[in-house]
Chain A
Amino acid sequence: MDFTTQLLIAAISAGTPLLLATLGGILNERAGIIQLGAEGLMLMGAVTTCIVYIRSGNLLLALLATVAVTAVLGLLHSFLCVTLRANQTMSGLAMTLFGSGLSAYLGKPISGIPLPGTSPKLHLAWLENVPFIGKIFGNMDYLTWFSLLLVLALHLLIHRTSWGLHLRAVGDSPATADVMGIRVQLIRYSYVITGAALIGLAGADMVLAYAPTWNEGLTAGRGWIAVGLVIFARWNPLRALFCAYFFGALDSLGFRIQLLGSAVPPYFLKMIPYLVTILVLMYLGYRNRNKPSGTPEALGVPYIREQRF
């Protein structure tokens, strides 16, 4: 396999958890709720997958448990933000801290224990011989396929269904949506919970496809990168795909460059994703300073019904 193919495979592999987390974040924020707890949610997702998979040996059960656990956390976040109208930033931070602590606590007993298996792949023999894309798509993880289908599904949902219309209305102008008879609170709860579950799955994917055992701080800030990616992708699922894979490539680029025998210390290469995030956001900020940025207008603003216009 040549360098580019290898890089692409690595990019997709590293990009899938980012993609899932970004999609989850997009759902949250499109509904108008900031989601800064991604790091904590990813860690909880990862640790839950590990614990259940190791204890039960059943991957499907592990994934279901992950979805359940992170959905509950999402419920907590939406309760705080939607019903209590608490400061969404603080709630997200609390989620991250709590998630980090809880996952470290729960994961200690199984730390270092290898998982019974890795992320199952969908083997498409007929595809494998196709030049170039064959190697990439012929043997891809189920979870990666899921994430790709999800991108398509979300894109269609947002732009081609009534649900999507309602979602966009709620995130941009909940007062208007309310006046038009849309159930703002219900929609916000639903999307926050679903988004949280997706971020949990991202954590699961990280541990299944990437690091075969649990250890504290597994995600190394990927949740936070996903937060940046949501903005980078301008809250659009299709863009999220490219952004996630781009960052996946950055992530693995460091490793690849090392393999090529470069003299640059690996630490600096590992810094690339983080620095690029900042630079990209700065660039976007500069370029869009006079245009609407695509931010859901009501992002972060708690909606209080009687406080009309």
Chain B
Amino acid sequence: MSLENGRNTAGAFLEPLSSHSGKRFSLRFEYDASRIRSPWWTPIVSIILALLLCALFIAANGMNPVLVYEKMFRGAFGTAYGLTETMVKAIPLLLCGLGIAVAYRISVWNIGAEGQLTVGAMAATAVTIYFPDLPSFWSLSLMLLFGIAAGALWGLLTAIPRTHFGVNELITSLMLNYVALLALDYVVFGPWKDPKGFNFPGSPMFTAAQSLPVLGSTRLHIGLLFGLIAVVIYYLMIRFTKWGYELRLIGANPIAARYAGIPIKRHIIIVMLISGGLAGIAGMAEVSGVTHKLMQGISPGYGYTAIIVAWLAKLNPLGLIVTSILFGGLIVGGYSVQTIGLPSSISEMLQGSILFFLIAGDMIYRFRIRRSRVQLKGGR
């Protein structure tokens, strides 16, 4: 590697798939590895580009993209009801996203938030089934505890294969997602099935004592508080504790962290426990604050959307709050356009494209276009 002027430059030729001969000017993309921080506006540009891309698909369906987007925005943020719904959707995104961000700090990919959320919901439901007559405070606290424990355990199942067997946590966490969903199916159609729920298979409805308190007559439940508290705790711990310091060190330079005597394997496990636990809280909150019963489809893919939420926020705690609200709005918006005939998966499409543009955008920033005359004769 040549170090020119202390900077690390590596020229990279964009190889055209067919070669052009006889060009006098060549566009040379120079890759500058030192530009690691892309500017703050890349997320915004990514969103805009994604909106444009999906507009194409909307138009192909014969609809006016502008109208569609407008309806989505109104549905999510335009009415009081919409706003609270957005917040409701933002809660699990915030919790799961936080967990994913914590893990990603040390380059651990937790794709299993969906499964961790599911088992958290299941564990919380178990409390309602097996300890049905507890007073509200105890009931809810136990549900929360079980939810965290279940989620953490699911996270642990992802960590151990990585730390002790070198199995990529991506695959493990993914597989466990499907296992969790199947387990959910099992209990919902099997042992916990509500004998009275004919049209809506699921567990028996939660009693008031088993439901999280809500704000007024909305569906906005106290889970919001959990999320915000978690974010604050995360921020404080990263900045002010020994553990947070160790995480930051591993994330900044794992080799140096080793030189400082930090045990990386242990941290992988801890981080997955936390990540899973947070998703478990999200599961408990969903089932106890929103649906009030355990059933199929309690999560429209929160665990996956949370990945984008975390990335878009660049792992920044404050950013996480913003992006989770944004994507909560996206989900609600998606539902609201169903009335005009579009599938709600429009929001998934948008999410995926935002991520694509975000990734591309981060990297494009590293390239500078240099026009150079191609010298055909003579030395340098």
The number of chain B residues with a CB under 8 A from chain A is 59
Interface string of B287-328 (1 = CB under 8 A from A): 000000000000000001001100100000000000000000
Q: Do the beta carbons of A282 and B179 come within 8 Å of each other?
A: no
Q: Do the beta carbons of B345 and A105 come within 8 Å of each other?
A: yes
Q: Do the beta carbons of A97 and B352 come within 8 Å of each other?
A: yes
Q: Do the beta carbons of B356 and A98 come within 8 Å of each other?
A: yes
Interface string of A204-232 (1 = CB under 8 A from B): 00000000000010001100110110010
CA distance in complex: A270, B189 (Å):
15
In terms of DSSP, what is the predominant structure of the interface of chain B?
A: helix
CA distance in complex: A89, B190 (Å):
37
Residue of B nearest to A93 (CB): B307
Chain A proximity of B302: nearest CB distance (Å): 13
Chain B proximity of A83: nearest CB distance (Å): 6
Does residue B238 face the partner (Cβ distance < 8 Å to A)? no
Selected interface stretch from A61-69, A140-148, A164-172, A300-308: A300-308
Chain A proximity of B236: nearest CB distance (Å): 28
What residues of chain A lie closer than 8 Å to B171, measured between beta carbons? 224, 227-228, 231, 277-278, 281
Interface string of B337-380 (1 = CB under 8 A from A): 00000110111111111011001101110110000000000000
Selected interface stretch from B76-84, B162-170, B198-206, B247-255: B162-170
What residues of chain B lie closer than 8 Å to A189, measured between beta carbons? 17
Residue of B nearest to A220 (CB): B178
Residue of A nearest to B184 (CB): A267
Q: List A75-97 residues whose CB lies under 8 Å from chain B.
A: 76, 80, 83-87, 89-91, 93-97
CA distance in complex: A31, B40 (Å):
34
The number of chain A residues with a CB under 8 A from chain B is 58
Residue of A nearest to B30 (CB): A306
Does residue B174 face the partner (Cβ distance < 8 Å to A)? yes
What residues of chain A lie closer than 8 Å to B307, measured between beta carbons? 93, 97
What residues of chain B lie closer than 8 Å to A138, measured between beta carbons? none
What residues of chain B lie closer than 8 Å to A95, measured between beta carbons? 352, 356
Does residue B172 face the partner (Cβ distance < 8 Å to A)? yes
Q: Do the beta carbons of A101 and B349 come within 8 Å of each other?
A: yes
Does residue B194 face the partner (Cβ distance < 8 Å to A)? no
Q: Do the beta carbons of B349 and A267 come within 8 Å of each other?
A: no
Chain B proximity of A224: nearest CB distance (Å): 5
Q: Do the beta carbons of A274 and B10 come within 8 Å of each other?
A: no
CA distance in complex: A95, B360 (Å):
12
CA distance in complex: A101, B351 (Å):
8
Q: Do the beta carbons of B186 and A267 come within 8 Å of each other?
A: yes
What residues of chain B lie closer than 8 Å to A271, measured between beta carbons? 178-179, 182-183
Does residue A100 face the partner (Cβ distance < 8 Å to B)? yes
Contact A90 B182, CB 8 Å, known A102-B349, A105-B348, A304-B12: no
CA distance in complex: A80, B367 (Å):
13
Chain A proximity of B4: nearest CB distance (Å): 10
Residue of A nearest to B304 (CB): A97
Q: Do the beta carbons of B355 and A97 come within 8 Å of each other?
A: yes
What residues of chain B lie closer than 8 Å to A80, measured between beta carbons? 356, 359-360, 363
Cβ contacts A to B, 22 pairs, < 8 Å:
A91-B359, A93-B307, A94-B355, A95-B356, A98-B351, A98-B353, A102-B57, A105-B57, A186-B17, A224-B174, A224-B175, A267-B182, A271-B179, A271-B183, A274-B179, A277-B171, A277-B175, A289-B166, A304-B10, A305-B13, A306-B1, A308-B1
Could you list which residues of chain A lie within 8 angstroms of chain B, going by C-beta atoms? 36, 40, 76, 80, 83-87, 89-91, 93-102, 104-106, 108, 183, 185-186, 189, 216, 220-221, 224-225, 227-228, 231, 265, 267-268, 270-271, 274-275, 277-278, 281-283, 285-286, 289, 304-308
20 new A-B contacts at CB < 8 Å, known A89-B170, A101-B352: A40-B352, A80-B363, A86-B363, A90-B359, A94-B355, A94-B359, A96-B352, A97-B304, A101-B351, A105-B342, A183-B15, A221-B174, A227-B171, A267-B185, A278-B167, A281-B167, A281-B168, A281-B172, A285-B167, A304-B12
